[in-house]
C-alpha cells in the first residue's frame, strides 16, 4: 500500500492537469473574493456575512464550494488516465490487491482535497484582505467553528472524490466520465428539490428529501457555517448523509474495480 | 526441473462465448515458450488470466509451485497487448515508476536496464515520441523492474520491422541465457519465434491443440524425398539395404515412398533402383516450412 501511494503521488505531481486545476482554483477564489468583498463594502447591510465577526473568513468559507467540482475533475482524469495509458496493467499484474489499488487513488484524491483546502484558504484570505483594505471588520479573529467546518468540508470533499472515482472506474474514458459526472451532479442537485415541492404541496407532508442529499449538506456547510454555530442535530445529519454517500460510492467503486477485467 | 507456470484446464467464457477452453500447459524454469495462434485464438485472454487482469471462469493457475498468486506475480514481468507507459514522461521516469512500485533493488538497476534495452541515450525525450521498436523495448525494460524470474510477453514483435524483431529477439535470448529468465511469448507468426523458443504451444479457437519441443519441430519440418515407383514392395527392400540409416515410409494408398534422414544425392537412389529393375516415375524433394506446418495443424480445425 505504501509503494502504491508513493507511485500514485509521483504520477499525479508529474501530470499537467494537477497544476492546471490548482491554477483555476486560485483564479476562481481570487475572482470571487475580490468581487464579493467590493460588492459587500458598497451594500454593507445586504451582506449578512459582514455582520459576523470575521469578514474575510466568510468569503473563504463560500469559496470551499469551488473545490468540489475541480477536485472531482482531477480525480476522474487521474483514474481514467491509468486506463487510457494502459498503466493500470503494470500495477494490476503485480499481485497487489485491487482494493488497495483503488484506495490508493482515493487517498491521493483526499490529499489533494487537503491541499486545495489550504490553497483556497490562503488565496481567498489574502485576496479579500487586499481587496477590503482597512474596511473589513475583524480581519484576524478566527471563526469559532473553524475546526468543525474544515473537518466537515474535508469529509464532504471525500464524498466528491469517491463519487468521481466510482464514475471513472465504471466508465474508464475521461470524456465520458466527466460528462456523466456533470449530468449526474446536476440531476442530483435539482431532482430532490422537485420532489420536495411535490411532497409539500401535493402530499402536504412536512419532509425534505434534499436535506438528506450530499449536495445540499455541503452547500449548507459552506454557505451558512459562518453565520451561526452549527446546531448539533445538523452535525449529526451531515455526518450520517456524508457517511452514507461515502460508503455507498466506495463500495460500488471497489466492487466493480475488483470484478472487472483491466 | 522446477515448474514456473502450471495451468490446469484454464477456461474463460465471455457471456456464452467460450474464448479459452481447458488450456493445460506447463512451463519449466529456463524455457522460452512460444505460444502461437491466429488472431482471436485466445492468446491475450490466456495471458490476462495468468497475470491477473481477468478472472478465469474455471481452472487453476500455479505460479512457481504456489497457488497463492499474488506472491508469485511480483516475480512476473509482463507486457500485455501494447507496452504501457505514461506518455508524457521520459523512459527513465517510466522505469522509475515501475522500480518504485516493486523496489527491493538499488536504483542503479534503472540505468543498467535502460542500457540493456538500448534506451540509455534517449535522455528527456517523451515516451510518446518513441518509435514502435523503442516503445516495445521500453515496455520490456519496465517489465524487467523488480528482477522478474518469469517474463510474459504478448506479441512483443507485433508491428516491428525486421531490425526491431532482431533486436527484441537477441534481447530476449540474452535475458534467457545470461539471467536465467523464463520467457512466455505469444505471437501469431510461428516464423518469428522459430529462432527463439525451445518449446511451443499452438492455440486455436481457445484450445491448446498441440505442444512440442524444438527438436520435435525439427523432425516434423525436416526435408525428405518422395520417390514414386511402380513396385513399392521391392523398392522398399532395395532401399532398406542401400541406405540403412534412412527412415523409409510408404505413403498409404499411393506408390510413393518417403525417405527421411537421407543426406546423399537423390540420383544415387534412382540409380540403385534402376539397377534393380525398378521403374522410378519421379523423385521430389519436399520440405515442411514452419508456417506450413502451423497452417496444417491449425487449418484442419476450421
Ligand atoms: N472482454 C471481452 N469480451 C468479449 N469477448 C472477448 C473479450 N476479450 C476477448 N474476447 C474474445 O475472445 C477471443 C480471443 O481474444 P484474444 O485472446 O484477444 O485473441 P488473441 O490475443 O489470440 O488475438 C476473441 O474472439 C475475442 O473477440
Ligand atoms: Mg492478442
pLDDT tens-digit readout, A35-71:
888 877 666 555 554 554 456 777 888 889 899 999 9
Residues comprising chain B, all counted: 302
**Interior CA angle at B93 toward B91 and B98, to 5°?**
95
Note the pLDDT of residue B130.
94
Task: Please state whether A231 falls in left (phi above 0), alpha (psi between -120 and 50) or beta.
Answer: beta
Distance CA B99, CA B116 (A): 15
Q: For ligand 1, is residue B113 a contact (CB within 6 Å)?
A: no
User: With an 8 Å Cβ cutoff, are B81 and A86 in contact?
Assistant: yes
Note the pLDDT of residue A255.
96
Note the pLDDT of residue A226.
59
**More confident site: A179 or B233:** A179
- Mean pLDDT (chain B, rounded): 88
The CA A182 to ligand 1 mean position distance, Å, reads 33
Q: What is the mean pLDDT of residues A243-254?
A: 96
Place of cell 518469428: B192
User: With an 8 Å Cβ cutoff, are A10 and B98 in contact?
Assistant: no
**More confident site: B67 or B223:** B67
Place of cell 448523509: A241
Spans of all domains in chain A: 2-259
Range of lowest pLDDT (A19-28, A63-72, B93-102, B192-201)? B192-201
Q: What is the mean pLDDT of residues B118-127?
A: 92
Q: What percent of chain B has pLDDT over 90?
A: 49
Q: For ligand 1, is residue B167 a contact (CB within 6 Å)?
A: no
Q: What is the mean pLDDT of residues A111-119?
A: 96
The CA B167 to ligand 2 mean position distance, Å, reads 21
**Interior CA angle at B97 toward A12 and B35, to 5°?**
125
| Pairing of β B32-36 and β B199-204 | parallel
| Predicted confidence (pLDDT) per residue in A94-114, tens digit | 999 999 999 999 999 999 999
Pairs of residues, one from chain A and one from chain B, whose beta carbons lie less than 8 Å apart: 74
Atom of ligand 1 nearest to the CA of B14: 4
CB A109 within 8 A of CB A165: yes
User: With an 8 Å Cβ cutoff, are B54 and A261 in contact?
Assistant: yes
User: With an 8 Å Cβ cutoff, are B97 and A11 in contact?
Assistant: yes
Atom of ligand 1 nearest to the CA of B38: 22
Residue A116's nearest CA partner among A37, A186, A187, A12 is A12
Residues of B in contact with A5 (CB under 8 A): none
Note the pLDDT of residue A138.
53
Task: Out of A128-137, A205-214, B120-129, B221-230, give the one with best mean pLDDT.
Answer: B120-129
**More confident site: A221 or A55:** A221
Residues of A in contact with B49 (CB under 8 A): none
The CA B155 to ligand 2 mean position distance, Å, reads 7
Per-residue HEC secondary structure of chain B comes to CCEEEEEEEEEEEECCEEEEEEECCEEECCCEEEEECCCCCCHHHHHHHHHCCCCCCEEEEEECCECCHHHHHCCEEEECCCCCCCCCCEHHHHHHHHHHHHCCCCCHHHHHHHHHCCCCCCCCCEHHHCCHHHHHHHHHHHHCCCCCCEEEEECCCCCCCHHHHHHHHHHHHHHHHHHCCEEEEEECCHHHHCCCCCEEEEEECCEEEEEEEHHHHHHHHCCEEEEEECCHHHHHHHHHHHCCCCEEEECCCCCEEEEECCCCCHHHHHHHHHHCCCCEEEEEEECCCHHHHHHHHHHCCC
Q: Is the pLDDT of residue B223 over 50?
A: yes
Note the pLDDT of residue A44.
59
Distance CA A128, CA B83 (A): 50
CA distance B141 to chain A (A): 12
What are A's interface residues with B at a Cβ cutoff of 8 A? 3-4, 6-7, 10-11, 14-16, 85-97, 259, 261-262
**More confident site: A71 or A146:** A71
The CA B35 to ligand 2 mean position distance, Å, reads 11
Atom of ligand 1 nearest to the CA of B37: 22
Q: What percent of chain A has pLDDT over 70?
A: 89
Residues of B in contact with A85 (CB under 8 A): 84-87
Q: What are phi and psi of B285, to 5 degrees?
A: -100, 125
**More confident site: A202 or A80:** A80
CA distance A94 to chain B (A): 5
Note the pLDDT of residue A75.
96
Place of cell 465504471: A170
The CA B207 to ligand 2 mean position distance, Å, reads 15
Query: B189 falls in which pLDDT band (50, 70, 90)?
Result: confident
Note the pLDDT of residue B302.
45
Q: Mutate which of A91, A93, A258 to disrupt the B interface (most B C-beta within 10 Å)? A: A93
Note the pLDDT of residue A135.
64
| Predicted confidence (pLDDT) per residue in A80-95, tens digit | 999 999 999 999 999 9
Residue B151's nearest CA partner among B197, B104, B103, B217 is B197
pTM over 0.90: no
Task: Kindly list the structural domains of chain B, giving each domain's residue range(s) and its CATH number in brackets, ordered by start.
Answer: 3-218 (3.40.50.300), 223-286 (3.30.70.100)
Q: Mutate which of A1, A19, A92, A95 to disrupt the B interface (most B C-beta within 10 Å)? A: A95
Determine which residue's CA is closest to atom 12 belonging to ligand 1: B19
User: With an 8 Å Cβ cutoff, are B74 and A94 in contact?
Assistant: yes
Place of cell 428529501: A209
| Predicted confidence (pLDDT) per residue in B164-178, tens digit | 888 889 999 999 999
The CA B294 to ligand 1 mean position distance, Å, reads 21
Cell of A211: 436535506
Alpha helices in chain A (DSSP H): 2-13, 16-42, 55-85, 87-92, 98-132, 146-171, 174-201, 214-224, 232-259
Note the pLDDT of residue A28.
94
Q: What is the mean pLDDT of residues B130-154?
A: 93
Range of lowest pLDDT (A136-140, B15-19, B102-106)? A136-140
Note the pLDDT of residue B226.
86
Q: Mutate which of B51, B57, B78, B86 to disrupt the A interface (most A C-beta within 10 Å)? A: B86
Q: What are phi and psi of B97, to 5 degrees?
A: -60, -50
Query: B301 falls in which pLDDT band (50, 70, 90)?
Result: very low
Amino acid at each position: 500500500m505504501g509503494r502504491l501511494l508513493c507511485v500514485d503521488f509521483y504520477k499525479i505531481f508529474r501530470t499537467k492537469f494537477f497544476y492546471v486545476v490548482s491554477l483555476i482554483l486560485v483564479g476562481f477564489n481570487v475572482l470571487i473574493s475580490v468581487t464579493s468583498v467590493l460588492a459587500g463594502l458598497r451594500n454593507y447591510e445586504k451582506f449578512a456575512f459582514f455582520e459576523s465577526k470575521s469578514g474575510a473568513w466568510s468569503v473563504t468559507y463560500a469559496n470551499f464550494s469551488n473545490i468540489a467540482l475541480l477536485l472531482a475533475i482531477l480525480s476522474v482524469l487521474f483514474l481514467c488516465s491509468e486506463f487510457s495509458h494502459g498503466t493500470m496493467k503494470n500495477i494490476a499484474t503485480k499481485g497487489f490487491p485491487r482494493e488497495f489499488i483503488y484506495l490508493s487513488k482515493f487517498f491521493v484524491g483526499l490529499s489533494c482535497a487537503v491541499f486545495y483546502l489550504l490553497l483556497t484558504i490562503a488565496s481567498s484570505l489574502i485576496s479579500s484582505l487586499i481587496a477590503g483594505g482597512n474596511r473589513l471588520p475583524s480581519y484576524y479573529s478566527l471563526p469559532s467553528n473553524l475546526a468543525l467546518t474544515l473537518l466537515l468540508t474535508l469529509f464532504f470533499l471525500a464524498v466528491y472524490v469517491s463519487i468521481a472515482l466510482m464514475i471513472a472506474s465504471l466508465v474508464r474514458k475521461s470524456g465520458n466520465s466527466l460528462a456523466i459526472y456533470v449530468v449526474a451532479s446536476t440531476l442530483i442537485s435539482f431532482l430532490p428539490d422537485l420532489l420536495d415541492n411535490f411532497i409539500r404541496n401535493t402530499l402536504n407532508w412536512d419532509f425534505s428529501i434534499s436535506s438528506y442529499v450530499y449536495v445540499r449538506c455541503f452547500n449548507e456547510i459552506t454557505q451558512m457555517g459562518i453565520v451561526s454555530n452549527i446546531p448539533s442535530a445538523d452535525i449529526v445529519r451531515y455526518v450520517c448523509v456524508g457517511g452514507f454517500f461515502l460508503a455507498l460510492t466506495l463500495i460500488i467503486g471497489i466492487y466493480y474495480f475488483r470484478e472487472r477485467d483491466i | 526441473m522446477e515448474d514456473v507456470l502450471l495451468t490446469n484446464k484454464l477456461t474463460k467464457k465471455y457471456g456464452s462465448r467460450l474464448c479459452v477452453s481447458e488450456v493445460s500447459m506447463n512451463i519449466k524454469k529456463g524455457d522460452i515458450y512460444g505460444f502461437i495462434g491466429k488472431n482471436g485464438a485466445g492468446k491475450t485472454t490466456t495471458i490476462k488470466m495468468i497475470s491477473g487482469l481477468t478472472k478465469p471462469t474455471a481452472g487453476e493457475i500455479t505460479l512457481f509451485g504456489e497457488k497463492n498468486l499474488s506472491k508469485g506475480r511480483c516475480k512476473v514481468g509482463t507486457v500485455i497487448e501494447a507496452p504501457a507507459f505514461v506518455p508524457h514522461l521520459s523512459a527513465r521516469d517510466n522505469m522509475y515508476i515501475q522500480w518504485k512500485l516493486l523496489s527491493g533493488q538499488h536504483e542503479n538497476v534503472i540505468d543498467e536496464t535502460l542500457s540493456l534495452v538500448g534506451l540509455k541515450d534517449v535522455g528527456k525525450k517523451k515516451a510518446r515520441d518513441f518509435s514502435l521498436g523503442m516503445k516495445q523495448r521500453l515496455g520490456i525494460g519496465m517489465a524487467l523492474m523488480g528482477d522478474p524470474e518469469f517474463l510474459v510477453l504478448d506479441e512483443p514483435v507485433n508491428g516491428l520491422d525486421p531490425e526491431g524483431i532482431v533486436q527484441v529477439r537477441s534481447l530476449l535470448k540474452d535475458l534467457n541465457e545470461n539471467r536465467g529468465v523464463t520467457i512466455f511469448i505469444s505471437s501469431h507468426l510461428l516464423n518469428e519465434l522459430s529462432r527463439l523458443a525451445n518449446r511451443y504451444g499452438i492455440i486455436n479457437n481457445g484450445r491448446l491443440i498441440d505442444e512440442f519441443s524444438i527438436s520435435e519441430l525439427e523432425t516434423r519440418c525436416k526435408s525428405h524425398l518422395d520417390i514414386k515407383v511402380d513396385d513399392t514392395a521391392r523398392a522398399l527392400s532395395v532401399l532398406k539395404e542401400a541406405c540403412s540409416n534412412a527412415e523409409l515410409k510408404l505413403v498409404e494408398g499411393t506408390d510413393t515412398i518417403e525417405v527421411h534422414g537421407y543426406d546423399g544425392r537423390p540420383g544415387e537412389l534412382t540409380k540403385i533402383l534402376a539397377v534393380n529393375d525398378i521403374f522410378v516415375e519421379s523423385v521430389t524433394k519436399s520440405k515442411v516450412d514452419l508456417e506450413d506446418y502451423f497452417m496444417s495443424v491449425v487449418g484442419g480445425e476450421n
